[in-house]
Amino acid sequence: MSHSKRNTSRAVFTSYERELARKSWTSTSARLNRESFLPFSACRLCLETAIDPVSCTHGDIFCRECALSNILAQKKEIKRLDKVKGQEDRDAQERQAQLDAEAHERAVQAFEMTQSGLDRTRVGRRGSWWKR
Ligand SMILES: [Zn+2]
């Protein structure tokens, strides 16, 4: 039993493939014939006659087992993407914190140089160095 979105071993289309075809085919190109569609009782995932059939809101029919394992796989993928996103957010936060710390460090150094009369940035300039 296969759960891949594209099926290559059968003459019929999965609902995903039918959707692709619908989007890419114009009315002048070839039409899907009767044999390209699954019988009504067929599971849209494994393409066999659905066992313990369940239906989604679009009216597609699946084996209960196929539907559940597909939902689980989707949930797993969503979880994985969430994790990747979370890591990226943490990395971005760390980078920003690093930049903030560096900016703070530079400001402190400039302030200390000013306090000790070593502010070279002020020499020969009008206005205040921190407003640049
Ligand atoms: Zn199935």
Query: Helix (H, G, I), strand (E, B), or coil: what is residue 53?
Result: strand
Under DSSP, the state recorded for 121 is G
Q: Is the pLDDT of residue 132 over 60?
A: no
**pLDDT for residue 34:** 61
Interval between CA 48 and ligand 1 midpoint (Å)? 6
Does residue 65 contact residue 52 with C-beta atoms inside 8 Å? yes
First-to-final CA distance of the chain? 67
Interval between CA 30 and ligand 1 midpoint (Å)? 28
Query: What is the value of pTM for the model shown?
Result: 0.45
**pLDDT for residue 120:** 58
8 C-beta neighbours (distance < 10 Å), count: 6
Q: Is the pLDDT of residue 128 over 60?
A: no
Q: What is the pLDDT of residues 61-119, one digit of tens each?
A: 999 999 999 999 999 999 999 999 999 999 999 999 999 999 999 999 999 988 888 75
Interval between CA 61 and ligand 1 midpoint (Å)? 9
91 C-beta neighbours (distance < 10 Å), count: 10
Q: What is the pLDDT of residues 23-53, one digit of tens each?
A: 776 555 566 666 667 788 899 899 999 999 9
Interval between CA 77 and ligand 1 midpoint (Å)? 20
Query: Helix (H, G, I), strand (E, B), or coil: what is residue 90?
Result: helix
Taking CA atoms, 114 is separated from 101, 106, 125, 127, in Å, by 20, 12, 14, 14
Interval between CA 35 and ligand 1 midpoint (Å)? 19
Interval between CA 82 and ligand 1 midpoint (Å)? 28
**pLDDT for residue 107:** 95
13 C-beta neighbours (distance < 10 Å), count: 19
Interval between CA 16 and ligand 1 midpoint (Å)? 14
**pLDDT for residue 6:** 62
Interval between CA 68 and ligand 1 midpoint (Å)? 10
